[in-house]
Structure 1
Amino acid sequence: MAGNVPPVADEREGLLRFLEQQRYVLKLAAHGLTDEQARYAPTKSSLSVGGLIKHVAFTEDGWIDTALQLPQKPFGEARQDYEEAYRLGPEETLQSVLERYDEVAARTAEVIGRIDDLGRPVPVPKGVPWYPDDVEAWSIRWVLLHLIEETARHAGHADIIREHVDGATAFPLMAAAENWPETPWMKPWKPTPHPA
């Protein structure tokens, strides 16, 4: 997939394609990283590229559960899961997190494909501090727009963190991942050899 979403036929395709594109650019930030590099948190925050991908997969899956009105965990358990989802644990690999993210993406596409009305209400779970008390329901459309926003925000975080890891930036990473030929204006990213 290139840096832009191709033309879309309708709203549903547009929402899903823009979400897919933001997932793609987030995953590009991990291109060529080792598990150790994917865990590295080089800024004042505890964010890492691998942790961000894990978090966004967790969050998207949770929003699809909410859209389906599946039972929610009690707040204490949900908060602990949320905090753990920001870290790529020592037993986890970048590859496993990327595979999980692909599974979540496939589930989202399948679920949204079965919903005939994007205006269908999604009741706001009650008793959760980060959800508004003054809103009764969102819509499926709103959930998709929120997922695009959430993914794009964290894709930007991942770009900054990746640049701290090894200097790589988005377009050279895309060029490397998509095997673009080297040109005077674009040199695909290449791993820096480690000193012996």
Structure 2
Amino acid sequence: MTDYTAKADLHRYLRAGREALLWKLEGLSEYDVRRPLVPTGTNLLGLVKHVASVEAGYLGDVFGRPFGEALPWLADDADVNADMWATRDESRQSVIELYHRVWSHSDATIDALPLDAPGRVPWWADDRSDVTLHQILVHMIAETHRHAGHADIVRELIDGAAGMRKDNDNLPPADDGWWETYRATLEATARDAGGIGDADR
């Protein structure tokens, strides 16, 4: 496999993760894109802000190609988890536009460097801080798709919408009531495996 083909494949998977993550914001109110749905506060717009910030570092600073915009929520004196939620002054559009600018910067890095180009991740332990573009692309694909998965669950909790991609939800076709029956089967199986009877409810 040539470097170009391998790089193109990796880049395609990264782009797919980016698009999946942004798709989860579509059609929701300002409240819904910001609301925390789990005890750790995970929210859709915060996931986008976080992934944009992480990508700016990994495909920028790591290869001596800084993103060029200040990201104050990553500063040493920033509040804990400041990159995981959007403040009232940070609009949905501004976060999305930031992510798009990060994409452009990252894509330029990917296009400019070979897969074996060296980089250094200063926030990793010294024994593994020396990396290649190949390693970082794999890392960013994993990071982006992991958070796209988080977004999928959060979106389902908001309005029941689920699916892998806009053009392919990767879900079985379901007639009315199919999901309820399916979920009830899983619940009954879990109770049976766990030794939980109806009286224990």
TM surpasses 0.5: yes
Aligned-partner Cα distance in 2 for 1:92–1:124: 28
Aligned-partner Cα distance in 1 for 2:153–2:48: 14
Aligned-partner Cα distance in 1 for 2:129–2:152: 35
Task: Tell me the equivalent position of 2:82.
Answer: 84
Aligned-partner Cα distance in 1 for 2:79–2:101: 19
Superposed CA offset, 1:51-70 (max 9, x none): 00010001100112233236
Question: What residue identity is the alignment partner of 1:134?
Answer: D
Query: How many matched pairs?
Result: 165
Secondary structure of the residue that 1:134 maps to in structure 2?
helix
Q: Tell me if 1:118 matches 2:111.
A: no
Identify if the C-alpha distance between structure 1 residues 88 and 44 changes in structure 2 by more than 3 Å, giving closer, same or farther: same
Aligned-partner Cα distance in 1 for 2:65–2:9: 26
Aligned-partner Cα distance in 1 for 2:101–2:14: 14
Alpha carbons 2:50, 2:83 under 8 Å: kept: yes
Task: Tell me the equivalent position of 2:16.
Answer: 21
Task: Tell me the equivalent position of 1:68.
Answer: 63
Identify if the C-alpha distance between structure 1 residues 82 and 112 changes in structure 2 by more than 3 Å, giving closer, same or farther: farther
From the CA coordinates, give the structure whose radius of gyration is larger.
2
Task: Tell me the equivalent position of 2:125.
Answer: 132
Secondary structure of the residue that 2:60 maps to in structure 1?
helix
Task: Tell me the equivalent position of 2:92.
Answer: 94
Alpha carbons 2:63, 2:120 under 8 Å: kept: no
Gaps of 5+ in 1: 1-8, 188-196
Name whichever structure is richer in helix by fraction.
2
Secondary structure of the residue that 1:138 maps to in structure 2?
strand
Question: What residue identity is the alignment partner of 2:125?
Answer: P
Per the normalisation by structure 2, the TM-score is 0.72
Task: Tell me the equivalent position of 1:155.
Answer: 148
Q: Tell me if 1:164 matches 2:157.
A: yes
Aligned-partner Cα distance in 2 for 1:103–1:149: 20
Per the normalisation by structure 1, the TM-score is 0.74
Aligned-partner Cα distance in 1 for 2:92–2:59: 23
Superposed CA offset, 1:31-81 (max 9, x none): 11122111111111111000000100011001122332367x9xx934727
Gaps of 5+ in 2: 176-201
Query: CA RMSD of the aligned region, Å?
Result: 2.8
Alpha carbons 2:60, 2:105 under 8 Å: kept: no
Secondary structure of the residue that 1:27 maps to in structure 2?
helix
Superposed CA offset, 1:58-111 (max 9, x none): 11001122332367x9xx934727721111111122222112111111111112
Task: Tell me the equivalent position of 2:34.
Answer: 39
Secondary structure of the residue that 1:43 maps to in structure 2?
coil
Alpha carbons 1:55, 1:82 under 8 Å: kept: no
